[in-house]
Amino acid sequence: MSLTLSKKAQAVKPSSTLAITAKAAELRSQGIDVVGFGAGEPDFPTPENICNAAIDAINAGFTKYTAASGITELKQAVCDKFKKFNGLDYEPDQIVISNGGKHSLTNVFTALLNEGDEVIIPAPYWLSYPEIVKLAGGVPVFVSGNKEHGYKVSVEQLKNVTTSKTKALILNTPSNPTGMIYTEEELRQIADYVVENDIYVVSDEMYENLVYNGKKHVSIASFGEEIYKRTITVSGLAKSYAMTGWRIGYTGSTKEIAKLMGSVQSHQTSNPNSIAQKAALEALTSDQSAVDMMTKEFDNRRKYMYERVSRMKYVSTLEPDGAFYLFIDCSGVLNKSYKGKKIESIAEMSKILIEDYNVAVVPCGDFGFDDSIRLSYAIKIETIDKGLSRIEKFLDELN
Ligand SMILES: Cc1ncc(COP(=O)(O)O)c(C=O)c1O
């Protein structure tokens, strides 16, 4: 057969985080006690009132198609949240409710990009960005953040990678994988640069609720009319409300961009699940104490994990202020020997960890930083404890 398949689809790398989760699940199914630090989802159940809203929706027969870009009540609830939490004024026709943050990002780049448009992606980055950009015909352009600056990028660095083809910049604060947060001052400088250069910012704020150390999440679109017009603010319910499986995300943008995204979505997926939309409405409009409880618990785990990893040999980490990840520089492990053989890469180290110590970590090559790993603390503290002890044991074996 001489038929060929899509070059774009073939160029997509399968998600390595999902692959690690799958490997851990496979070992568990063989009865092996694996500690999985790969999870990108809260271990808490979805709060009961949210589940009940979904059950009520089913009982009320709210089980048919809705408007393709989401129900007006939910769009209004998203506007209210944007106003109260982010200081952003959006009308319901500027909101598109989607099937999750990933889907929102897909909508955004489908609406923004023409073939060959460049998108600046600061590294380390969430591994899906380059793939989503490429699928939409864009060209990812990477710029690495320095560890000394919390892996965040400066305007100077952006200048070095901006060309006449630059269409957009992706910003992710709080960051997956580093847990770092851009300060208001840093964001203001980037906003000025974006406006001067007339490009878009895709501001991924999925982890906006998960912020610690008294730090504050700031939305770049809130700095005035010019940056507001050029920003697409992306968020969702998955991380803040332990609703990963429900698949609800949303964007705030200009009406023009929202209309384009709504139109694309109307052909590609139609409305997000009607029942999940009612659950999302409950999540956004009800008492937020479950979010506070989860954030507090993540914070305890964050402190514990940071403390312990800081004391480990050959590795180093920065204290994260947000999300639920610790980003660990493991370059000190390279060229050390394990069982008489040199460790040549962090991918190899991760393989040893899962096979010999039954600890699943995420090597960050696919996040644009070969020498680091990401550990999630969206798992129970006892499990964190056990997993870190295993990593320490491995480090003790090196010479
Ligand atoms: C930074 C970031 N953005 C977006 C998403 C997508 O979230 P969702 O599960 O809503 O598609 C994730 C999920 O891991 C993420 O880490």
332 vs 393: CA distance, rounded Å: 16
Evaluate: CB of 206 within 6 angstroms of ligand 1: yes
For residue 2, being part of any structural domain is answered with no
Of 271, 325, 224, 239, give the one whose Cα is nearest residue 103.
Answer: 271
Rounded to an integer, the average pLDDT of 287-300 is 96
Of 308, 270, 351, 221, give the one whose Cα is nearest residue 97.
Answer: 270
**pLDDT at position 126 over 90:** yes
Asked whether residue 234 falls in the same domain as residue 338, the answer is no
Of residues 321 and 2, more confidently modeled: 321
352 vs 266: CA distance, rounded Å: 46
Rounded to an integer, the average pLDDT of 111-129 is 97
What ligand 1 atom has the least distance to the C-alpha of 249? 10
What ligand 1 atom has the least distance to the C-alpha of 248? 10
Residue 186 makes CB contacts below 8 A (sequence gap 6+) with 152, 154
What ligand 1 atom has the least distance to the C-alpha of 105? 4
**Composition of the chain by helix, strand, coil, percent to 5:** 45, 15, 35
Rounded to an integer, the average pLDDT of 332-360 is 94
318 vs 228: CA distance, rounded Å: 31
Report the separation in Å between the CA atom of 375 and the middle of ligand 1, taken as the mean of its atom positions.
16
Report the separation in Å between the CA atom of 110 and the middle of ligand 1, taken as the mean of its atom positions.
17
Asked whether residue 112 falls in the same domain as residue 148, the answer is yes
Evaluate: CB of 125 within 6 angstroms of ligand 1: no
Report the DSSP beta bridge partners of residue 249. 98, 236
Asked whether residue 24 falls in the same domain as residue 149, the answer is no
Computed over every residue of the chain, the mean pLDDT equals 96
For residue 361, being part of any structural domain is answered with yes
pLDDT at 21: 74
Report the separation in Å between the CA atom of 133 and the middle of ligand 1, taken as the mean of its atom positions.
15
What ligand 1 atom has the least distance to the C-alpha of 204? 3
308 exposed, middle or buried (CB, 10 Å; 0-12, 13-18, 19+)? Answer: middle
DSSP classification of residue 136: T
What ligand 1 atom has the least distance to the C-alpha of 41? 14
390 in Cβ contact with 35 (< 8 Å): yes
**Which of the four pLDDT bands, split at 50, 70 and 90, describes residue 20?**
confident
Share of the chain above pLDDT 70, in %: 99
What does the pLDDT look like over 47-71, one tens digit per residue? Answer: 999 999 999 999 999 999 999 999 9
Rounded to an integer, the average pLDDT of 78-106 is 98
pLDDT at 138: 97
pLDDT at 17: 67
Residues in the chain: 399
Number of domains in the chain: 2
**pLDDT at position 114 over 70:** yes
Report the separation in Å between the CA atom of 234 and the middle of ligand 1, taken as the mean of its atom positions.
10
Give φ, ψ of 179 to 5 degrees.
Answer: 75, 5
Classify strands 325-329 and 316-317 as parallel, antiparallel or unpaired: antiparallel
Asked whether residue 26 falls in the same domain as residue 87, the answer is no
Pocket-testing residue among 105, 128, 243, ligand 1, by greatest number of atoms within 8 A of Cβ: 128
Rounded to an integer, the average pLDDT of 300-311 is 98
Give φ, ψ of 163 to 5 degrees.
Answer: -130, 180
Asked whether residue 12 falls in the same domain as residue 23, the answer is yes
- Nearest residue by C-alpha to atom 13 in ligand 1: 40
- Nearest residue by C-alpha to atom 16 in ligand 1: 176
Q: Which residues of 80-104 are buried (b: 16+ CB within 10 A; e: fewer)?
A: ebbeebbebebebebbbbbbbbbbb
CATH number, domain containing residue 363:
3.90.1150.10
Evaluate: CB of 236 within 6 angstroms of ligand 1: yes
Evaluate: CB of 282 within 6 angstroms of ligand 1: no
Evaluate: CB of 305 within 6 angstroms of ligand 1: no
**Which of the four pLDDT bands, split at 50, 70 and 90, describes residue 22?**
confident
137 in Cβ contact with 116 (< 8 Å): yes
**pLDDT at position 14 over 90:** no
- Nearest residue by C-alpha to atom 7 in ligand 1: 101
pLDDT at 249: 98
Asked whether residue 323 falls in the same domain as residue 249, the answer is no
Domain end, chosen from 285, 300, 328, is at 285
Evaluate: CB of 21 within 6 angstroms of ligand 1: no
Asked whether residue 63 falls in the same domain as residue 190, the answer is yes
Report the separation in Å between the CA atom of 3 and the middle of ligand 1, taken as the mean of its atom positions.
35
**Which of the four pLDDT bands, split at 50, 70 and 90, describes residue 335?**
confident
What does the pLDDT look like over 151-190, one tens digit per residue? Answer: 999 999 999 999 999 999 999 999 999 999 999 999 999 9
Window from 15-19, 308-312, 364-368 with minimum mean pLDDT: 15-19
pLDDT at 2: 86
Evaluate: CB of 249 within 6 angstroms of ligand 1: yes
Asked whether residue 29 falls in the same domain as residue 66, the answer is no
Asked whether residue 184 falls in the same domain as residue 59, the answer is yes
Please give the residue range of the domain that contains residue 54: 48-285
Asked whether residue 279 falls in the same domain as residue 294, the answer is no
User: Half-sphere exposure of residue 392, counting CA atoms within 13 Å on the CB side?
Assistant: 12
244 vs 254: CA distance, rounded Å: 27
What ligand 1 atom has the least distance to the C-alpha of 236? 10
Rounded to an integer, the average pLDDT of 232-259 is 98
**pLDDT at position 221 over 90:** yes
Share of the chain above pLDDT 90, in %: 93
What ligand 1 atom has the least distance to the C-alpha of 104? 11
